[in-house]
Amino acid sequence: MKTAKKSTFSLMFYIKKTKLLKNGEAPICLRITVNCQYAEIMIKRSVLANLWDQKKECSKGKAYSDRELNHYLDSVKARVYLLQRELETEGRQVTAMAIRDRYNGKDDGYKTLVQIYEDHNGQCRKLIGIDYTESTVDKFDTSLSHLKEFMKHDYRREDILLFEIDNQFVRDFEIYLKTVRGCQHNSSLKHLKNLKKIIRIAQANGWIKKDPFFGIKFSYEDTGIDFLTREELEVIINKEFTIPRLAQVRDIFVFCCFTALAFIDVKQLSKEHIIKDNEGNLWINKDRQKTGVMCNIPLLPIAEQILKKYESHPECNKNGVLLPVLSNQKMNSYLKEIADLCGIEKKLSTHVARHTAATVVFLANQVTIENVARILGHRKLQMTQHYAKVLDSSIMRDMSAVKNSFEGMMKHNPVIAEQPQ
């Protein structure tokens, strides 16, 4: 009676000396051999040829980078052994190619996180202008970039199989964002929510069974809303700037303060967005880039004056827009200079202008909250009510100063302080 031939399985790291990289290092390759059939995996690591010990299959260097490399090689080998056992447990044929494909995420049953994330972002980019804005897709790309850097930093890996993602992975990512990346709490949650979206896609397709976000709840911190007071706004409007770029940025900031347009919307503003009603009044009629909600904004005299100022500006004529808006980064940078020159301690940004419009320009001047919601392009009134609450707290804060200033008058006025008969 013949006995079944036992299958053989072996791994070997080696370097490709004939394919040196630009930095002079040789790429490291892992050869998987199953029953005399082999497949190779490029592990995306390299080493100087004279530091490679083929007998021990590791770097013989003493530097930290060499120790880190050897640790990574051990983790790759452990991962490949795990994949081999998984294939056996599933009753699937264990071949060198099958192990290689699963390692690379090409096995239909086992996809990788980066692979799914990149596919998602690619599909979203195709839908820019239909379902997504470019800025939203850029944020997805930023979240993916942070995730890749996190895996390299904490796990010494460039990707991870979906089934390997657990609750600890999510919590480690949150800690990385807040410590290494220096993200604030709310910013960290946005990246985690983007990751959660990818996990939901994987669950919907049956690529992952357990929910790594189970038991993890997101709670945004109330950061408040920064806006200028009427006095601060007047200081900026009346300030004379000798530097043209600062005067230009100031004008666009003030325009946003009297229209409540977000940065991307004022940057896109063109002649087709300005309409005149039956009574000769000018209006801004434009879809918000972020939400697609139509905004109907009356063009106040100061905003109209700013448009006239730049109607012959070469950048406006070249790009077919009404205002020469710089990049958001440059705008915010120059606004910091403007704040310093005007003696304003608040951190100015393009979004502060929108907040100022909602509170000081509109709500504080008896514009109804329903009309402010329409001007801002809010889908829900609750979003606008948040501005009203902030304004109420600001009024109460100011009134406390009034209270203190009149307190002494009350104490020393015998007529008012006298008890009634």
Q: What one-character-per-residue DSSP string does 213-256 give? A: TTT--------------HHHHHHHHH---SSHHHHHHHHHHHHH
Q: How far apart are the first and last CA of the chain?
A: 122
Residue 216: closest CA among 155, 251, 175, 265: 175
The DSSP call for residue 155 is: I
Round to whole Å and give the CA distance between 261 and 137: 21
pLDDT in tens, 179-196: 999 998 989 999 999 999
Q: Span 208-231, mean pLDDT?
A: 82
How much is the pTM?
A: 0.56
Distances (CA, A) of 134 to 127, 290, 410: 9, 9, 60
The β-bridge relationship of strands 37-47 and 26-34 is: antiparallel
**DSSP-derived 3-state class of residue 62:** coil
Please state, in angstroms and rounded to a whole number, the distance separating the CA atoms of residues 257 and 355.
8
**When comparing pLDDT for 394 and 233, which is higher?**
233
Cα–Cα distance measured from residue 24 to residue 49, given in angstroms and rounded to the nearest whole number: 9
Whose tokens are 């049953």? That residue is 109
Amino acid in the structure at residue 136:
T
pLDDT value, residue 234? 92
pLDDT given at position 198: 95
320: left (phi over 0), alpha (psi -120 to 50) or beta: left
Is there a contact between 295 and 288 (Cβ–Cβ < 8 Å)? yes
User: What are the extents of the domains in the chain?
Assistant: 9-103, 113-204, 230-400
**Yes or no: domain 230-400 corresponds to CATH 1.10.443.10:** yes
**Residue 399, Cβ density class (10 Å: 0-12 exposed, 13-18 middle, ≥19 buried):** exposed
The per-residue pLDDT for range 11-66, each reduced to its tens digit, is 999 999 998 999 999 999 999 999 888 999 999 899 999 999 999 999 999 999 99
Q: Taking the CA of residue 8 as centre, how many other CA atoms within 13 Å lie in the half-sphere pointing to its CB?
A: 7
Confidence of residue 351 (pLDDT cuts 50, 70, 90): confident
Between 366 and 396, whose confidence is greater?
A: 366
Which parts of 291-344 fold into alpha helices (H)?
Answer: 301-309, 314-319, 328-341
Mean pLDDT of all residues belonging to the chain: 85
